[in-house]
């Protein structure tokens, strides 16, 4: 019996590999699905206004299930044995079997990261609603971080369900956060960054962050309670500033000289899940000599 938690955690890790393979699909396709939707809406508005309508965009089926996974360079459709998490990447030596183009290392890393997160959650909380809730939380955060890093988008299709899931988990006592604290945390998380956004915009005339950051911080407030908001924003800001400065000196900043804030909120959220928000605050204060 004493080995049961380890066995459960190992099975969760294997499940994490499979889920991670699906997360790679979401990371790549969801932003493109959003772009297609925006293009279709623009065409509808243009047609309704009686203006010349541009040529129709690609209307082929494109969602999280279709078409089947294929090489982005040559269009080779992946066979089932070319789509096994991590193992297929190793077997193919990181190259397409058809055109030999290099396959991004990100794919197996996402799968391994998801496996590690699932292993951690089940090892800590067991195969309980609490453990499964934190698996959902960590997987969603991983997707949000990578989509935001690639596109500076934090899709409502992910941030809003994450927020409601936190409130639901609190109401059902799956997480150790009282419902009142979760509700106040969600509201305060959104409003706090909304105020920062408008203060920065009024002072500089520029937008320092997007509305997706407000919703993501609100979701973190729902999962950890309002007491965690200060440690979370401090950790995200400090790490974000350090990485931003490092990228500036190494000339790796993207056009416009900005760094998306979402990945740093995600990092703070995952650290809070692993160690607790108060330990984050104590570590930060200790590092600053306070």
Which of 32 and 254 is assigned the larger pLDDT? 32
What pLDDT digit, counting tens, does each position of 74-103 carry? 888 888 888 899 999 999 888 988 898 999
What pLDDT digit, counting tens, does each position of 14-59 carry? 999 999 999 999 999 999 999 888 888 888 888 787 777 666 666 7
104/282 Cα distance (integer angstroms): 38
pLDDT for res 289: 64
What pLDDT digit, counting tens, does each position of 199-249 carry? 988 888 887 788 999 999 999 999 999 999 999 999 898 888 888 777 777
What pLDDT digit, counting tens, does each position of 140-187 carry? 999 999 999 999 999 999 999 999 999 999 999 999 999 999 999 999
Which of 83 and 252 is assigned the larger pLDDT? 83
What pLDDT digit, counting tens, does each position of 5-16 carry? 778 888 999 999
Q: How confident is the model at residue 1 (pLDDT cuts 50, 70, 90)?
A: very low
Which of 67 and 284 is assigned the larger pLDDT? 67
pLDDT for res 288: 62
pLDDT for res 290: 61
Q: Is it the case that residue 4 has pLDDT exceeding 80?
A: no
Domain boundaries, the chain: 1-125, 128-290
Task: Give start and end residues of each alpha helix (H) in the chain.
Answer: 4-48, 87-91, 106-125, 129-151, 156-171, 179-204, 211-224, 229-249, 262-275, 277-287
- DSSP track, 152-202: S---HHHHHHHHHHHHHHHHTTSSSS-HHHHHHHHHHHHHHHHHHHHHHHH
What pLDDT digit, counting tens, does each position of 258-267 carry? 788 999 999 9
Q: How confident is the model at residue 256 (pLDDT cuts 50, 70, 90)?
A: low
Most confident of 71-75, 195-199, 222-226, 279-283: 222-226
30/289 Cα distance (integer angstroms): 43
pLDDT for res 257: 59
| Residue corresponding to tokens 């990578």 | 146
CB 256 within 8 A of CB 220: no
- Phi, psi dihedral angles at 57 (to 5 degrees): -75, 175
pLDDT for res 134: 97
pLDDT for res 238: 84
Burial category of 277 from C-beta neighbours within 10 Å (exposed 0-12, middle 13-18, buried 19 and up)? buried
Q: Is it the case that residue 197 has pLDDT exceeding 80?
A: yes
């Amino acid at each position: 019996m004493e080995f049961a938690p380890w066995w459960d955690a190992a099975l969760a890790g294997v499940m994490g590999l499979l889920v991670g393979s699906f997360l790679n699909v979401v990371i790549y396709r969801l932003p493109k699905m959003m772009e297609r939707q925006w293009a279709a809406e623009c065409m509808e508005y243009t047609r309704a206004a009686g203006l010349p309508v541009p040529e129709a965009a690609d209307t082929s089926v494109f969602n999280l299930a279709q078409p089947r996974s294929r090489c982005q360079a040559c269009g080779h459709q992946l066979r089932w044995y070319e789509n096994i998490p991590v193992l297929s990447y190793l077997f193919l030596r990181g190259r397409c079997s058809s055109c030999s183009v290099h396959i991004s290392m990100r794919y197996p890393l996402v799968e391994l990261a998801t496996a590690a997160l699932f292993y951690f959650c089940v090892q800590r909380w067991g195969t309980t609603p609490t453990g499964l809730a934190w698996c959902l939380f960590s997987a969603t955060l991983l997707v949000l971080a990578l989509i935001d890093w690639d596109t500076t988008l934090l899709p409502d299709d992910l941030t809003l369900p994450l927020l409601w899931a936190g409130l639901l988990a609190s109401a059902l006592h799956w997480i150790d956060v009282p419902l009142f604290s979760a509700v106040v945390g969600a509201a305060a998380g959104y409003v706090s960054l909304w105020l920062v956004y408008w203060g920065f915009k009024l002072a500089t005339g520029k937008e320092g962050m997007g509305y997706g950051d407000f919703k993501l911080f609100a979701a973190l407030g729902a999962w950890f309670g309002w007491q965690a908001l200060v440690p979370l924003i401090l950790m995200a800001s400090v790490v974000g500033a350090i990485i931003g400065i490092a990228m500036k000196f190494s000339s790796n900043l993207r056009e416009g000289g900005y760094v998306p804030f979402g990945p740093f909120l995600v990092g703070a959220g995952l650290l809070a899940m692993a160690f607790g928000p108060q330990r984050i605050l104590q570590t930060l204060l200790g590092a600053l000599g306070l």
